[in-house]
């Protein structure tokens, strides 16, 4: 492979990983607060539809991205009211949210099917972007990719370097104890859910504005579910979400390139590679922490109603 092809493959790996990174980080924060939101796919696909619609109407990718975030937040708010406010079952509400999101997105996007617009602009720094291999990879991505990486650092810093982050993690582990300390359990959980929705919406907007710049119903094609699985895979750590997304995105992209290169293996075998790689990584991870026990937030998925 020529350096150009290597650079192109590396750049597409990062592009394929970006929606998983962004949506995964959002879900990670919600789950760290103890709320399991299975509606990532629904919020993501709504973000894609609304983001694309807003971008077409306004002509601005930024407005589209913000609208996508808004759509995710709105759906997450409905989920938050149900599960945090009314202590409804989180699994059932999350599944309902996915179905609702898929339906709503079809409705919101109906008028925009078949339209096309230019993809989000890529960064271009004269001199730097033209460097071989590293140039396009480090200095030639679109805004969403940088936003995703910045988000990973931000979330990591927030959860382990701030007092609020500590409180959030404590709530995810023991809401009753944090409540008795006078900390706002339900408000924090609600905000964490909203943050998760914002990220899922942004990830969806990335798909319809940058990755494949058009809207088609159900275009997320299961990426929301993969993001959910990534959070578990990453044992609720932001850095590992990024690593897992790059691993999964990389395996997906590389097997397509391997097929195009014609290495003589049936495509169906190669298609299984991303999943095999994920299983292998999971085994290695669990071997490494044999004495540690579960890393999930202790109160994940459990609702909390303060006694009055």
Partner 1 sequence: MKRTSLGASLASCLGAVLLLVSPVRAEDKLKVGFVYVGPVADYGYSFQHDLSRKALAAAMPDKVETTYLENVPEADSERAIEKLARSGMGLIFTTSFGFMEPTLKVAKKFPKVKFEHATGYKRAPNVSTYSARFYEGRYVCGKIAAKLSKTGTVGYIASFPIPEVVSGINAFMLGAQSVNPNLKVKIVWVNTWFDPGKEAEAAKALLAQGADILAQHTDSAAPLQEAEKQGKFAFGQSSDQYRFAPKAQLTSIVDDWNGYVIAETKAVLDGSWTSHDTWGGIKDGMVVLAPFTNMPDDVKAMAEATVKDIASGKVQPFAGPVTKQDGTLAVKAGETAPDPMILGMNWYVKGIDDKLPQ
Q: Which is closer to partner 1, CB of 40 or CB of 299?
A: 40
For 111, which DSSP code? G
CA distance 38 to 47: 16
Q: Which is closer to partner 1, CB of 15 or CB of 147?
A: 15
Taking each helix axis as running N to C, give the angle between helix 185-206 and helix 3-32, from 0 to 180 degrees, rounded to the nearest 10: 160
CA distance 209 to 22: 15
Least separation, in Å, of the C-beta of 247 and partner 1?
A: 16
Beta pairing partners, 122: 142
Q: Which is closer to partner 1, CB of 222 or CB of 239?
A: 222
Q: Which is closer to partner 1, CB of 268 or CB of 294?
A: 268
Least separation, in Å, of the C-beta of 269 and partner 1?
A: 7
- Two tokens, residue 232: 């578990």
Q: Which residues bind partner 1 (CB under 8 A)?
A: 5, 8-9, 12, 16, 19, 106, 110, 113-114, 116, 119, 207, 211-214, 216-219, 221-223, 252-253, 256-257, 259-262, 264-269, 271
Q: Which residue, among 278, 231, 218, 236, has the nearest Cα to 23 in the 3D structure?
A: 231
Least separation, in Å, of the C-beta of 254 and partner 1?
A: 9
Q: How many H-runs (helices) and E-runs (strands) does the chain carry?
A: 13, 0
Q: Which is closer to partner 1, CB of 116 or CB of 289?
A: 116
Least separation, in Å, of the C-beta of 259 and partner 1?
A: 4
Least separation, in Å, of the C-beta of 141 and partner 1?
A: 15
Least separation, in Å, of the C-beta of 89 and partner 1?
A: 23
Q: Which is closer to partner 1, CB of 60 or CB of 212?
A: 212
Contact 216, 56 (CB under 8 A): no
CA distance 83 to 191: 13
The angle at the Cα of 115, spanning 222 to 69, to the nearest 5 degrees, equals 50
């Amino acid at each position: 492979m020529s350096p150009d092809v290597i650079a192109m493959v590396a750049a597409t790996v990062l592009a394929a990983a970006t929606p998983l990174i962004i949506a995964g980080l959002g879900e990670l924060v919600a789950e760290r607060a103890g709320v399991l939101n299975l509606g990532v796919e629904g919020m993501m696909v709504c973000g894609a539809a609304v983001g694309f619609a807003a971008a077409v109407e306004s002509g601005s990718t930024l407005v589209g991205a913000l609208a996508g975030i808004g759509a995710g937040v709105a759906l997450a708010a409905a989920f938050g009211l149900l599960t945090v406010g009314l202590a409804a079952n989180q699994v059932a509400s999350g599944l309902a949210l996915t179905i609702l999101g898929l339906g709503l997105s079809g409705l919101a996007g109906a008028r925009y099917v078949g339209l096309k617009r230019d993809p989000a602009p890529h960064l271009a720094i004269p001199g730097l972007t033209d460097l071989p291999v590293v140039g396009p990879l480090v200095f030639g991505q679109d805004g969403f990719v940088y936003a995703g990486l910045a988000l990973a650092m931000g979330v990591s810093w927030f959860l382990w370097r701030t007092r609020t982050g500590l409180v959030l993690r404590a709530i995810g582990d023991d809401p009753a104890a944090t409540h008795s300390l006078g900390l706002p359990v339900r408000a924090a959980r609600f905000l964490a859910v909203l943050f998760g929705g914002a990220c899922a919406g942004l990830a969806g907007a990335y798909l319809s504005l940058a990755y494949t710049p058009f809207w088609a119903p159900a275009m997320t094609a299961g990426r929301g579910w993969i993001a959910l699985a990534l959070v578990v895979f990453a044992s609720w750590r932001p850095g590992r979400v990024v690593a897992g997304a790059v691993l999964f995105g990389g395996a997906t992209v590389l097997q397509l390139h391997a097929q195009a290169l014609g290495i003589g293996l049936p495509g169906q075998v190669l298609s299984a590679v991303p999943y095999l790689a994920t299983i292998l990584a999971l085994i290695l991870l669990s071997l490494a922490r044999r004495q540690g026990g579960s890393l999930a937030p202790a109160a994940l998925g459990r609702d909390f109603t303060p006694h009055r």
